[in-house]
Amino acid sequence: MTTPVTVQFEKTGFEALTDAEGRVALIVGPDGKLGAVAKRLDRATRGAIGRALQGKAWDKLKAGDALDLSYPAGLKAEAVQLVKLARRADTAEARKAGASVGKALGEAGVVVLAAAHPRAAEIAFGLTLRAYDFALYHTAEKPAKGAVTMLVDDPDATSAKAAPLMALADGVCFTRDLVNEPANVLTTTDFAERLAAMREIGLEVEVLDEPALEKLGMRALLGVGQGSESPSKVVVMQWNGGRKGDAPFALVGKGVVFDTGGISIKPAAGMEEMTMDMGGAGVVSGVMRTLALRKAKANVVGLVGLVENMPDGRAQRPGDIVRSMKGDTIEVINTDAEGRLVLADVLWYAQERFKPTGMINLATLTGAIIVGLGHENAGVFSNDDALCNAFLKAAAAEDEGAWRMPMGPAYDALLKSRLADMKNSCGRPAGSITAAQFLRRFVKDDVPWCHLDIAGVALPPKETTLAPKGATGWGVMALDRLVRDMLEG
Ligand code: BES
Ligand code: MN
Ligand code: ZN
């Protein structure tokens, strides 16, 4: 696992900036006006900062972007970074400003002058997220990132504001680590152990093994994992920070630690990306971690189905018929449509055991959602307008792309099977929607539910504002906010 970069808040002063041997970053308004301390720093550089702020390059910068002055005369620092951010900047702009600093962070560290900026905590949050680096397997030892000090006028107040955001950053980075890990490291057993370790931060964690799942009748889930050497597991994480005895809200995640496709095997090109097929489970785990770290006043249960989809002499075949925990039978047309089989049983179990007030599941479920929405938006499917709109609002506030997709009986009809109650795959048309309809059959009518298809956003092909290339942790921020708005409000 990686350790997120932490930010130390200290009282605004001049010496910390002139003593800095790494980088220095100044948060400056678009007008280029400097505060008292920054003015002194400008004098120390014999006006280099002021001249840069009068140039074209500064004018062209958008909110949150930055400009570098390398080896400024008069300072020990290796660079001064001028970060454009108005005092009235919104959350996204402030995080982006922090990300500009975090992206440039090296081993010598950085001292950031934020002074009285009202969004200093959000700047620190963006910095931490963008400084994330999954470098565990680069053997030519990459030097660790240096210390981050942020100079603010009121360190105590800023630290207090930053605390829940740092819990959130920790959760996001936990998710990213899980998604970035290769499948020979993150086996179902290793995944479950990492979740069990969260007992230390106050989560109640249970690990259900194959005999337990067999007893519960989860044959849909077990069928997916039966070709793998790694035993299938369901992990239940409970955070009960709300009123005692109140029914929880449930989060459910697809945790396919590797998806070869099974007997309906995938083509070789790009198959290595299927290490991220546990992305839904990763997000659920990251959210639970954040809720525990910030001691959320809400009852939330997170359930993840951990399996590996492998071809083998014991693997499930196309044409097999399995009975789900609910009792419905499923004809397995395509062993590569495995995520819905896993989720069907975990969704049903979540409802039977916890009678949740609502339920959101996340899954890297279909390639079709990438065809439809690319890497900009996750697909949102729901049986309940109020829950769906609350989620979309939270996602928009956190700048995490999410777009609602249609559902309906005509799509459900496509699941009809000659031999069983339904089939698990029905071809290319509306592939993401038929997958959602399949899941909906395992959701009780009176349970408000959303399905988030995150195949396109969990591991996009390029870096994003807040993440380097690799896993994003998409959804942790939106779900943390949803819990805050809907359950803690
Ligand atoms: N894990 C894949 C979906 C996926 C594709 C995630 C690309 C991330 C990137 C899923 O299990 C799958 O294989 N879905 C099939 C369903 C089809 C067989 C009905 C697909 O999308 O092709
Ligand atoms: Mn698959
Ligand atoms: Zn899959």
Span 143-183, pLDDT tens digits? 899 999 999 999 999 999 999 999 999 999 999 999 999 99
Residue 344 CA to ligand 2 center (angstroms) comes to: 15
Are residues 122 and 156 both part of a single domain? Answer: yes
Where do we find the tokens 């870096």? 463
> Which residue has a Cα nearest atom 7 of ligand 1?
367
Question: Domain tally for the chain?
Answer: 2
CATH code: domain of residue 38 = 3.40.220.10
Are residues 195 and 146 both part of a single domain? Answer: no
Residue 388 forms part of a structural domain: yes
Contacts of 305 by beta carbon, 8 Å cutoff, 6+ apart: 221, 232, 234, 252, 253, 254, 255, 281, 342, 343, 345, 346
Are residues 247 and 117 both part of a single domain? Answer: no
Point out the catalytic residue in the list 340, 423, 440, 481.
340
By the 10 Å C-beta count (0-12 exposed, 13-18 middle, 19+ buried), 397 is classed as middle
- Do 333 and 264 contact (CB within 8 A), yes or no? no
- Using DSSP bridges, classify how beta strands 148-152 and 110-115 pair: parallel, antiparallel or unpaired: parallel
**Of the residues 127, 161, 195, the one at which a domain ends:** 161
Q: 279 CB under 6 A from ligand 1? A: no
Return the biggest CA–CA distance within the chain.
Answer: 82
Are residues 317 and 453 both part of a single domain? Answer: yes
Six token digits for residue 76? 């020990």
Residue 322 CA to ligand 2 center (angstroms) comes to: 17
Are residues 143 and 265 both part of a single domain? Answer: no
Using the atom order of ligand 1, give the atom closest to the CA of residue 458. 8
Using the atom order of ligand 1, give the atom closest to the CA of residue 309. 11
Residue 141 forms part of a structural domain: yes
- Do 35 and 14 contact (CB within 8 A), yes or no? no
Residue 253 forms part of a structural domain: yes
Are residues 329 and 241 both part of a single domain? Answer: yes
> Which residue has a Cα nearest atom 8 of ligand 1?
455
Are residues 116 and 227 both part of a single domain? Answer: no
Distance, CA of 324 to CA of 342 (rounded, Å)? 10
Point out the catalytic residue in the list 194, 266, 297, 323.
266
**What confidence score (pLDDT) does residue 232 get?**
99
CATH code: domain of residue 216 = 3.40.630.10
* Residues in the chain, pLDDT under 50: none
Q: 333 CB under 6 A from ligand 1? A: no
**What confidence score (pLDDT) does residue 140 get?**
87
> Which residue has a Cα nearest atom 3 of ligand 1?
366
Which ligand number lies closest to the CA of residue 366? 1
Q: 285: domain range?
A: 186-487
Count Cβ atoms below 10 Å from residue 482 Cβ, excluding itself.
26
Are residues 451 and 405 both part of a single domain? Answer: yes
Residue 178 forms part of a structural domain: no
Candidate of 275, 308, 366, 452 to mutate for ligand 1, largest count of ligand atoms within 8 Å of Cβ: 366
Are residues 259 and 369 both part of a single domain? Answer: yes
Residue 171 forms part of a structural domain: no
Q: 302 CB under 6 A from ligand 1? A: no
- Using DSSP bridges, classify how beta strands 249-259 and 359-363 pair: parallel, antiparallel or unpaired: parallel
Helix, strand, coil in percent for the chain, rounding step 5: 40, 20, 40
Are residues 194 and 49 both part of a single domain? Answer: no
Using the atom order of ligand 1, give the atom closest to the CA of residue 425. 19
Q: What is the DSSP letter of 448?
A: -
**What confidence score (pLDDT) does residue 213 get?**
99
Which ligand number lies closest to the CA of residue 368? 1
- Using DSSP bridges, classify how beta strands 79-84 and 66-70 pair: parallel, antiparallel or unpaired: antiparallel
Are residues 124 and 263 both part of a single domain? Answer: no
Which ligand number lies closest to the CA of residue 457? 1
Count Cβ atoms below 10 Å from residue 174 Cβ, excluding itself.
27
Six token digits for residue 143? 């030097």
Residue 315 CA to ligand 1 center (angstroms) comes to: 18
Instruction: Determine the straight-line distance between the first and last CA of the chain, rounded to whole angstroms.
Output: 33
Q: 342 CB under 6 A from ligand 1? A: no
Catalytic site residue 340?
A: yes
**What confidence score (pLDDT) does residue 112 get?**
98
Q: 372 CB under 6 A from ligand 1? A: no
Residue 173 forms part of a structural domain: no
- Do 145 and 133 contact (CB within 8 A), yes or no? yes
Q: 259 CB under 6 A from ligand 1? A: yes
Count Cβ atoms below 10 Å from residue 203 Cβ, excluding itself.
22
Contacts of 456 by beta carbon, 8 Å cutoff, 6+ apart: 369, 370, 373, 374, 375, 376, 377, 378
Residue 195 forms part of a structural domain: yes
Are residues 259 and 135 both part of a single domain? Answer: no
